[in-house]
Amino acid sequence: MTIYAEIFTFIAIDCKGYLPAFNTVTIYFLKDLIEGKRKFVPMERVNHIHVPAYETLKLEEIFSFFLQHQAVIPFMPEDKELRRMPKQWVCNVGATVIGQPFLDWVSARIKKRNEAVTQEKNMLIALDPQIAACFHASNAVSRKYHSLSSTSC
């Protein structure tokens, strides 16, 4: 085992640090962690978040958001190494360190994108009132609430 692998294993196992995949971490990031120039999130504190692969949620946009929240910067590798990091790890660290502001920002971007796609592709459906009544009365449709109206179809 190389010293590189030993340092990674030590931080991940003995220190219980949340690290990105081994093949994405450089020796320089690991060295900065060991020397205390960078920080890691303890494994038990990680807040996992799902961030879809949307145009408005690329790593560049996420990094721009991070620049407004300096608390997360010590947990990230240097700029040139940052591009190698898995998006999932970057987002989980952001969700853990920044917390609700990051979660709200991601949610707002997802909502905005979904609304734009709905409008752009004309995915809104206007139901005929009789069809809508049948839809709400149907027990064959999965939904959160059941309508108790007595409409016959």
The per-residue pLDDT for range 103-120, each reduced to its tens digit, is: 999 999 999 888 887 777
Domain definitions of the chain by residue range: 3-120, 124-153
* pLDDT of 150 higher than 70: no
Question: Percentage of the chain surpassing pLDDT 90?
Answer: 62
Confirm if 40 and 33 have CB atoms less than 8 A apart: yes
The per-residue pLDDT for range 7-52, each reduced to its tens digit, is: 999 999 999 999 999 999 999 999 999 999 999 999 999 999 999 9
Q: What's the whole-model pTM score?
A: 0.76
Per-residue pLDDT, averaged over 53-69, amounts to 92
Return the closest-CA partner of residue 111 out of 119, 96, 99: 119
